[in-house]
A and B are shown apart, each in its own frame.
Chain A
Amino acid sequence: MISTKLILSSITVSLCLIVRLPATAQDSANLPGRAATLLSTRCIKCHGPEKKSGGVDLSTRAIAISTGALADSGTSGSAAVAAVSAGKMPPDGKLSAAEVKLLRDWVASGAVYSKDQLVAIKPPNKTPWSMTPISHPVVPKTAFDKLSSNPIDRFLFARLQRSGLTPSAPASRPELLRRVSIDLTGLPPTPEAIAAFCADKSPNAYEKVVDRLLASSAYGERWGRHWLDVVRYGESHGYEQNHLRPNAWPYRDYVIRSMNQDKPYDRFVKEQIAGDIIGKGDPSVEVATGFLVSGIHDTVPILTDEGTRQQRANDLDDIVSTTGITFLGVSLNCARCHDHKFDPIPTRDYYRMTAIFSGVYHGDRQLSQRPNSPEDQRKVDDARARQTTLRAARADLLATAKTQLVAANKGLREPVSSVFNEDRFATTNAKYLRFVITATSNGAEPCIDELEIYGPANASQNLALASRGAKATASSLLPGYTEHQINHLNDGKHGNSFSWISNERGAGWAQIELPQAEQISRVVWSRDSEKRLSDRVATAYHIDISKDGLSWVRVASSDDRSVDPKAYSEERLKQALNPDQHKKLEALDADLQIADNTLQSLAPVMSAYCGKFDDPAPIYILPRGDVMHRGDLVTPGALSQIPGLAGDLKTAANSTTAAVKLASLTDVSPESVDPRLQLADWICDSRNPLTSRVIVNRIWERHFGHGIVDTPSDFGNMGAPASHPELLDWLATDVMTHGWRLKRLHRMIATSYAYQQTSTVNSAGMAKDGDNRLIWHMPLRRMEAEAVRDSILTVSGKLNLKAAGGPGFRLFKYSVLNVAIYETREDQGPDTWRRSVYQIPARGIRDELLGVLDCPDSSERAAHRTSTTTALQALSMMNGLFMNQQATYFAERVRGIAGDNSAKQVSAAFQLAFGRSPSAKEVAAARALIAIEGLPTLCRALYNANEFVYY
């Protein structure tokens, strides 16, 4: 069903388009209608019955005239026309000449209102530049073209030239190598690499370096970490309990692997949204959907309906928002409660996007490997078929057992009930009655709300009542609860609030002592006769009676009661099988084991936190985001307002079939119409202008420190404008037309002249462009937290590059006492000397070193890194155990290279830490320090130097 709201908004769109066109002969026919639209969108909000700004109300013709805005006839009398003609109104932007003319014509023709009353209509949000089709700019020619033929430089040069700036000189080789090594791999160059590069006189010496770095696995570890920032990857659930997610890491490895393989970006996107579909049977692809669920997830059970709905809505919001921000640079979550304030994203779009993911749930998923050969595939198929048959046979057998049990139940009394039970026995004279419990429904302490005794004389006279003088005793009492008391057993009041609970799990007895020996024949008892609670029910019990409290006779028990068929455990069912059936079951289990073994060896199963998938749940628009109210039911859909690309997934999914064929050995499956896959296709559609622009900008931002768009996760109207829009479009096109390969983009950037400029500043550049948005030099930057830590380990010689992938390492002590508790880990041994990307990022927990160096908390998406300088950073760098431990190893390594000669030690230490030789003055100062305080102190100082953390 199409809502009224949608109809209205599309009408508004079309009418506004008409208004913006120059008036033509045809248009003049509908002057009142067009004037009404213009007034409604631009004037009535202030000049309506509510605000009446300046005393003017234009909502009806009569009021407009009475408030003086319109004269009865004729332009000269219209204050409204005068105000807009003079540009005084509207205050938020003049009307166009055509719009002014429209109003003037309308007033001149009698100011006829097309409807009785005009109401304010919010004009549609303008389409941001980023949603308009990608342009195909021509690479410009500039005065600096002799410096470079790289198209990136041509665009940058053109902009510099227009601003009267010139590119800076090239950087020295050591500076350049340090820059490109840290930038592409997150690791400083080794002294050997520096020497080799400086000695290489071939014209493509630098290009070879770039290719080598891009081919190293360290590249994926560096750029994978950038991606993990953007997608808020964490390895704990967050919220109060914040338990670790031990199976989350396969997604991290997937990202690193994909980067290193130079997986086409469109493929990378599709796998993360729908890897379970396009990579079915290939765990290395299926695991990509870890993207969907790598955010926070509340694991505290809430027993209210609202709480449960809110938790689910929050999970879906996290998935939808992250999808929108990561791939499209749009903040969809703004539309959760109302239409987006600035961007053309109606609330309906938000919920249509939510509907796409409504079958996605947090949790581990079992992933099975596709067999290696057709022959293995046949074996697997066969084993699976056998599994099915065997399981069916097994189920049949147990069903038989159930039938047998039910038959055996015939003649037995009804099962125990939590609400009402009656045990009858031959009339006996007794003073004491004891109800002995030997098992409960849930193993907990038994609860009885009332224990009643009746005799043959009066069927409605409860002889056990305390009010008659009967006395209740019990084996024990659960302490601390006013509701649960021994004397509640015979107080005549029912329900949990007036009950007894023993203090023995699954056991206990309750006893009634009658005022005197009486004729009794019946006991009535219940757990909660008010029917609210059904736990703690006595399922095995017997009733004994006594005249003197010393010798007891059993008069009733649960032995002759049947068992509720719902409560049959498999164990119980097995007991009901006869010996033949038992043998048959054992044979079936043995065959099943063989089939399982076959599958485990040929199609092994792994568990990864990459989401569980269920049938999509219906999604309703939630007015104001309120989970307790439901608006229209929506169907899955993508963004509706991107020009030239429908948000209706059926029309956008042209490439689905091809994608599935490419991805899977199997034929097109019904899953190809899965809305997630269709959304993935829609995102990667070449007509989608956002996807390529956003990824190009992300890559650019991490190379240069600024994006071409400086808000990498916001390409909306409130985001930053592009500093070089033509360059962005040129690169976006280039990426798409070259198979979405990102390494090609890295190479083009890293080999550009701009990237190879010196970091030295010049006064002209500083005066005209202090921000360096035009990239007239290549500024120094502080390394990110991980690069600092990895550099420390590299320089000390302790970095274990082989320990790549797999479960991460902990920089904290972990324990669980209902909630997870994280404490500082002080013994950072060799298991932690891995690259920092393999550190387990628990939410809300910041490592003492990484945290103070602006490593983001994975609770929120981080579009880029901030770089702050604080005293706490200095304390960690100076005094941290890790730093001092590594300084000692650094000193050992230097001694191993240079022996005891302090001049050689200084030289070796500078080479390792800074990639350069020390000056004579530096040698002298460092030797002096070594002489007084020893080599480890020098190493500690070098780790703390500005030169160490800047590149």
Chain B
Amino acid sequence: MTAANRFKSFIRKPHNVILVALAISLSFLTLFPLLSLVRDTVIVHPSELMSIRGSKPGDLTIFHWRKVFFDGETSQNLFYKPFWNTINISLGACLVSLVLGGGVAWLITRSDLRWKSFISTAFIFPYIMPSWTLAMAWLNFFRNRLIGGAPGLFTALTGIETPNWFAYGAFPIVIVLGLHYAPFAYILIGGILRNMDANLEEAAVILKASRFKILRRITMPIVMPAILSTFLLVFSSCMSAFAVPAFLGTPVRFQVLTTQLFRTLNGLNPGYGYIMALVMIVLGTLILMINQWFVGKRKSFTTVTGKSSNISLVKLRSLRTPLSAGLVLFILAVAVLPLVTFAIESFILAPGDYSFKNMTLQFWAGEGRVDIGGGEPGILLNKYIYLGLWNSIRLSVVVALVAGSVGVLAGYAIVRTRGTRLSGYVNNLAFFPYLMPSMAFGAIYLSMFAKPNLFIPSLYGSFALLVLVGAVKYLPFASRAGINAMLQLSGEIEEAGLILGVPWWKRMTRIIFPIQKSSFLSGYLLPFISCMRELALFVLLITPANRVLTTMLFQYNEKGWNQYANAINLMIVVIVLVFNTAINKITGASIDKGIGG
């Protein structure tokens, strides 16, 4: 066959066309920013004129690299300490989420726990809610007087002062991140446990192994690869978490890479920040490589059998009711109580006074008062809140549509051409944005698209830029959902249509999509939810005309207008939960399917 003919037959297949298109556009949208980032680490930025004396913006310099890595105490404080803090809290949070998420997954799939359907539904909530929700709730509850000012609800109720290490810094960050990602671990490990042949454990029961021995010798080794990859994914998520350490770490000057990133990008030395972003990307890539190496080395042990209904449940006996009740209480505390604290905090007028006469509707429905919050009206009367809400929803819907659809196409093209180099390349590219810390990603897109380039006009301050950055950032969720959906679908299904001469788009819309509807839709749902609660990604890109709820929340919070912040947060959480539940009920899509559980 001649090259021309080969090309012709290559290009005639829709999946090849999609693959090539994705390879080119994703290279531009993910690799290119990376290069731009590298460039940003070696040039002088306008705000660095103070630090790098006598330079002009755009000059080449190794100043940042020297300061970040090789400048003794400065590097220690600037980079190394935050770096180790990041590693430590990520490890801690991983441990918490694995133990908790894995434990609940085990209880749900392997024991006769009560109220399973409630527990398994409500346990996901902390993951659906914005990550700072728990951080804010923690502060509402446990902030102490040691740091000055109004004590939290806990102290107000019990009179016990919380110690500093408990209220702020590494400990609460680990706990809160751990709780936030526990559902993630639950979904992944639960999925494996559900698919794992229960007979493997039963065989050990019959052979008189104790429950603990079974867990240690049989269950753990078999689900180990899954646990490891959960660990790595949670680790990289924790590493790029910004809001939680920002809320809980700042009062005691506990810095991690992301908070340093934010400070330096907004301060005098953005160059430092770009280097940190690069470090985080390198770390993320390393993690991904370890994961792939590990998965490749040890074949998955899990086998799907049709006998899952026959799993024999461990009898918790006397522990059954206390454990179930404890878990329900715990979930209520983690998933519902924060919302209650937001509600309460949004009603109180003078801080720290939780008596009824101090309650006011001012921050919800009051007219602006000059003596409170700079004269802002209550959020239900504030037209900017409605603008923000509209923007949030509009942005999330568009991002979800774009990311989800590209994810479907990516999944289709990647699976259909599985085994080819291009397929692997696109697969990795589509996952790459996951490793980019959101804030750095936002910063790069800002510098890339602030000016008109090539055929792309300047997108600065435009809605399109937000859509672009959101769609690329959340593509990994969508493409994973798409790939999973396509892997479950045998090629013959489509070939049957092909033989009948059904055109490609019709095969996609009439055959493939409907069959895997709920899996594909999950690929739309996760970007939607993530987008609704995203802060770090947009915080640098927002302009007044297109601000979204989360950035408004952050602003209010920074100004110390806690009541507005709490009210907005409550609003975001409720919207996300309502949307998630509605979509779940109507279409059957769910975030656990999106994650690949």
Tell whether A and B belong to one assembly: no
